[in-house]
Structure 1
Amino acid sequence: FRTDKREVLDAFASGLLPFRPYTDDTAMTKCLAASLIEKKGFHAGDLAQRFTTEYFEQPKRGYGSNVVDVFRALKRSNFEDPFGPAKDQFQGTGSYGNGGAMRVAPVALFWHKNMAEMVSVAEKQARITHTHRNGYNGSILQCLAVRYALMSDSKAPFDKVAFLKLLLEHMDAIESKDVKPTSDPAVDKPFTTSLQNMQHVLCDVPRDLSAEEIAALFGNDVSAHKSVPTAIYAFLRSHEPLPFFQAENPFVRAIVLSISVGGDTDTIATMVGSISGAFHGIEGIPTSLQRHCEDLDLVLKLADDMYELVGAH
């Protein structure tokens, strides 16, 4: 599923926001949130079954063919090993797609007070479908970004430098653990490299990037290492007005900027929406946008249920 970026940007500009059904991003995020709430924590078997059931009940949500192969294998094996089918993909190297990252936001909310457990579950939930280091490390980075956005004071001036420094410290340590060094830092530590590039263009020598430059520097495809950084960049850049689109609301700016980059627009916008939403809260999301979200009432109930559960611990 790819949203035509010109169509969406024109819709924003005219105020005619077209209703769109959610894609696999939201479908799997709902599964993860529901599983965490019902099981009061991470349960790989339950989550694998929810993902698979959701797909077979509503397969036309834009799922990639590789993750569908995982669901079929899980179903055939009766979920005997929730992590097994994903390990077998791509001659045993696993997928480095952004599927683990696109759905991870509930983990950041559930364990926002327990960093170690949050990072552990961010990796484990990703490994059900994505076992390449870039796949699960992308999930970790996205989870960290949502968590730090949630814990930031949205009423105070936003400190991009401090936010990026926190992410850089974590990802440098994480990517250093399981790497076989080459001569190319972009291969060894792709997320760390992207965050360093982000620091340079946003903080050290600030300059605006065109949509094409953003795509070239941070990516816009289905791989985690070429989409998660793009979402983070869009969130950070959205705190100031955009040169090509007039909007007072920073959440709207983040979504519009992410879509303008093109490529895997639904997933990149989902990820930046999770980060920006965690920072600004529901009051920062225009009701005109909320009204066009499929299953809004169910999502709000999941959020309320998770808040009650996490608040009790």
Structure 2
Amino acid sequence: MTQSSVMPPESRSRASDSLYGLALGDALGSQFYVPANRQARDDRLLPPGPWQWTDDTEMACSVHRVLTRRGTIDQDELAASFAARHDFDRGYGPATNRMLRLVREGGDWRALASGLFDGSGSWGNGAAMRVAPLGAWFAGDPARAVREARASAEVTHTHPEAVAGAVAVAVAASVAAGSADLTPGSFLDQVLSHTPPSLVREGIAEARRLLPLADPVLAARALGNGREVSAQDTVPFTLWAAARHLGDYEQAFWTTAAAGGDIDTTCAIVGGIIGTRAPLPPGWLNSCEPLPAWAYETSPR
């Protein structure tokens, strides 16, 4: 019997809701990299489907798969799933492409991840972009979400900023999924209380101060919008956007997309958080690429 077989069904349901929200944000957000669609974004018009998701969703599916099978993050299994499911055409960064290829060829993920960028490890936003379903799995237990998010991040991102980004997003999803009554301020306060000292945490504290600000473009000027593809340039703004629209997926998406930058990733993070507590627009889901069946496997093939 695997650990996942004794997990409450609501854990799997919440994680699945988050995964769908993440995939939809990723897939629709990715459409706005096309120059012809940028005016449509500004006018809040949906581009024609189907919308294909990117590496954000592909990696999140592996996180969900491991949790479904184990009920916890098994780092070796997660690394193997990342490598086996790696589709070069999904938009992975060059360092991750190389690392996952080497893992498939028998390389040690621990040595490869820690050796990135001259031994400092990656501080990119990749660990944060995929982690919301993990936080939803541990809804209402942010301390457990912290431990599991750290384990999930270290498989590819060992830099403390990347780990802090993954922790913050996981805690955000855990709190969003587990608390019926939340204010924007109490939401970010709980995230701050579990995020380790870092530039990411400093950015979230600034996001907390900027909650009265309504303009996402101005917020992104202060917080970043993922353009630098770092955790510290991505996570604070996404948590600001999520905090301002905790009950409205559609509004949260357009607010996030309006800031530009790494739109598929910022919208994936926000979508994964808001998807735990707000319904997804049905018409949007119909245009989104379906999730792969392997993301829900409960036992080896």
* Pair in the same fold by TM > 0.5: yes
The aligned residue for residue 184 of structure 1 is none
8 A contact 1:149–1:279 mirrored in 2: yes
Which protein shows a greater Rg? 1
CA distance in 1, matches of 2:124, 2:68: 26
The Cα shift of 1:113 comes to 5.0
Q: Look up the equivalent residue of 2:118 and give its one-letter code.
A: Q
Structure 1 alignment gaps of length 5 or more: 176-188, 240-248, 307-313
Q: What RMSD over aligned residues (CA atoms) do the two structures have, in Å?
A: 2.5
The Cα shift of 1:165 comes to 1.4
Change (3 A) 1:163 1:214: same
Deviations 1:179-226 (A, max 9, x none): xxxxxxxxxx31222222122221xxx232351x22221112211111
The Cα shift of 1:270 comes to 0.1
Change (3 A) 1:99 1:14: closer
Deviations 1:280-311 (A, max 9, x none): 1xxx1110111112124749x83xx89xxxxx
CA distance in 1, matches of 2:216, 2:129: 24
The aligned residue for residue 236 of structure 2 is 229
The Cα shift of 1:238 comes to 2.7
Q: Look up the equivalent residue of 2:134 and give its one-letter code.
A: V
Q: How many residues align?
A: 266
8 A contact 1:2–1:263 mirrored in 2: no
Structure 2 alignment gaps of length 5 or more: 1-29
Superposed, 1:54-203 pairs within 5 Å as 54-55=85-86, 58-76=87-105, 78-79=106-107, 81-112=108-139, 114-153=141-180, 158-171=182-195, 174-175=196-197, 189-202=198-211
Fraction of identical pairs, as percent: 27
8 A contact 1:21–1:293 mirrored in 2: yes
The aligned residue for residue 273 of structure 1 is 271
Q: Look up the equivalent residue of 2:270 and give its one-letter code.
A: V
Give the match's secondary structure for 1:278: coil
Change (3 A) 1:292 1:272: same
Q: Look up the equivalent residue of 2:165 and give its one-letter code.
A: G
Change (3 A) 1:263 1:192: same
The Cα shift of 1:9 comes to 6.2
Give the match's secondary structure for 1:46: helix
Deviations 1:38-87 (A, max 9, x none): 233221111111101111xx2200000011121122223x25x3322010
Give the match's secondary structure for 2:166: helix
The Cα shift of 1:18 comes to 2.8
Structure 1 length-normalised TM: 0.77
Q: Look up the equivalent residue of 2:257 and give its one-letter code.
A: I
